[in-house]
Amino acid sequence: MREKRTVFYGWWLVLGLFIIGALAPLGRFNVTAFLPFMMSELGWSRSTIGLAQSMAIWLYAFFVLVVGVLVDRIGSRKTFLIGGAITILGWVLFSTVQSPWQLNLHYGVILALAVSMTHYVPIMATGRKWFRRRAGLVTGITGAAWAVGNAVFMPVMTAMAHSYGWRDTSLILGICFGLIIIAIGFLLIRDTPESIGLHTDGETSTPDSGSPAEMEVSWTVGRALKTAPFLLLFVSYSAYNIGMSGLAAHVVAWGTDLGSPEATAGIFSTAFAAPWAIGCVAGGWLGDRYGKTRIMPLGLMICTAGMLYGWLGVHSQQGLALLAIAVGLGTGLQVSLYVPLLGDLFGRAHVGSLFGILTFGYGAIGGWGPLIWATVRESSGHYNAAAMISTACYAIGTVALLLVGRIKSAGDEGPGGRGIG
């Protein structure tokens, strides 16, 4: 009689991570959805709100340094539970904002902390701790979650804000999102497969330690930081986010500049996020199959071309939608592969800490994007010049990833002696 096979618990965990990943980052992108309504009610400039958006990314970058360590030390389950409670607090306070300092505190600090504890670093690190062979696909699926959440909820948020006001929308949605995160953290999230007597990928036993191809490396954080691949990944992850975060923060406002009604301008965020989700899943699968360092530069090349078009050719709503689709797809193809590549190079033990350091650069450097885009828009009267700056940033990220691939092609098998992609 054949033994009945059960679904590996890791896939239930992926479902929980996906739901959290769809809801948690809306604590960062709520200002994007509400930007036209906030400017109209409060009378603030794009630069005032753009500064808060950049501050949120900067502080997020600082917080994830700690969050990455927390995931490795106390586990992702406790991290998500704490983050869910802070999510509720942050959204409730955000709904009461009356002055710029309150926006900076409630959105730029508290919600930044909430997102750091519930979004990319703990989600991607947890997925990598549970999967090895299918790591690219899994992080592609969970990495697509925020894009699915944005694609679904951004139009809903702009429509609700138009009908009921952005404050009531924030209050209701924030409480619901936080409670869902807490429930999933309690019911589904587990730190590692070993914590419940399982092995990565649902294997019946640990990999054969006598096989070099199957043996997992385990690097200290300090040693990993000194390697050329890590430094190049840091440059790429930091530089491309200047361009990406600027567009993500202002795509709705750019749409209204081009004549879109405020109530429906959230569709441009959907045009950016939906292809991102497709790109994440496709990029994860392609990275596992053909090599991560082959797929990642391709994604940023698409982004560079898209932003170049944004600089020279976007003068209509249709053009903006085309730009958003290209940049979303290209970014998605490469973004979910950073964590699997870190795990391949340096092992699972410190992948949370290492990805936290990468994300620090992503925020501390990339966080200038919203403020740069706001400043350029107010000085030039349009967003096309900001797209020019983003073109250069994406190009820098592309070159850094190509150099990682060149190290591989030159015969360097990477820090762990197992290949770079």
What is the residue extent of each domain of the chain?
19-195+220-409
Q: For residue 153, which of 323, 27, 282, 41 has the smallest C-alpha distance?
A: 27
Q: Are 190 and 13 in contact (CB under 8 A)?
A: yes
Residue 241 Cα distances to 171, 238, 270, 296, angstroms: 29, 6, 18, 14
Q: Nearest 5°: phi and psi at 360?
A: -60, -45
* Dist CA 196 CA 212 (whole Å): 27
How many of the other CB atoms lie within 10 Å of CB of 186? 12
Q: How far apart are CA 240 and CA 232, in angstroms?
A: 12
Q: 10 Å Cβ neighbour count for 388?
A: 15
Q: What is the mean pLDDT of residues 220-241?
A: 91
pLDDT interval class at 4 (50, 70, 90): low
pLDDT at 421 (0 to 100):
42
Q: Yes or no: say if 60 and 362 are a contact pair by the CB < 8 Å rule.
A: no
In 3D space, the residue among 194, 233, 202, 179 whose CA is nearest the CA of residue 346 turns out to be: 233
| The CATH fold of domain 19-195+220-409 | Growth Hormone; Chain: A; (1.20.1250)
- Least confident piece of the model among 248-252, 399-403, 407-411, 415-419: 415-419
- Give Cα 276 to chain centroid, integer Å: 10
Give yes or no for residue 25 having a pLDDT over 80: yes
Average pLDDT, the chain: 86
For the chain, the C-alpha Rg in angstroms (whole number) is 21
Within 8 A by CB and 6+ apart from 364, the residues are: 58, 61, 62, 238
**Closest among 138, 285, 136, 131 to 207, alpha carbons compared:** 131
The CA distances from residue 88 to 21, 106, 247, 318, in Å, are: 16, 11, 27, 37
Tens of pLDDT, residue by residue over 370-406, are 889 989 998 998 899 999 999 999 999 999 999 987 7
Structure tokens belonging to residue 241: 């986010």
**Which positions ≥6 away from 221 have C-beta within 8 Å?**
350, 353, 354, 357
Q: What is the pLDDT of residues 124-155, one digit of tens each?
A: 889 888 988 888 888 889 988 887 888 788 88
Q: How far is CA 68 from the centre of its chain?
A: 14
- Alpha carbon distance 22, 176 (integer Å): 13
How far apart (Å, rounded) are the C-alpha atoms in residues 251 and 270?
10
Predicted local confidence at residue 204, as pLDDT: 72
In a 13 Å sphere around the CA of 112, the CA atoms on its Cβ side amount to 26
Quick: pLDDT tens for 236-256: 999 998 988 889 888 888 999
Instruction: Give percent of the chain with pLDDT exceeding 90.
Output: 46
Q: Find out whether 367 and 57 touch, Cβ atoms under 8 Å.
A: yes
- pLDDT tens for each residue of 265-320: 778 888 888 898 899 899 989 998 888 889 999 999 999 999 999 999 899 999 99
Q: With both helix axes pointing from N to C terminus, report the angle between 267-290 and 292-313 in degrees, rounded to the nearest 10.
A: 150
pLDDT of residue 85: 97
Asked if residue 2 has pLDDT above 90, the reply is no
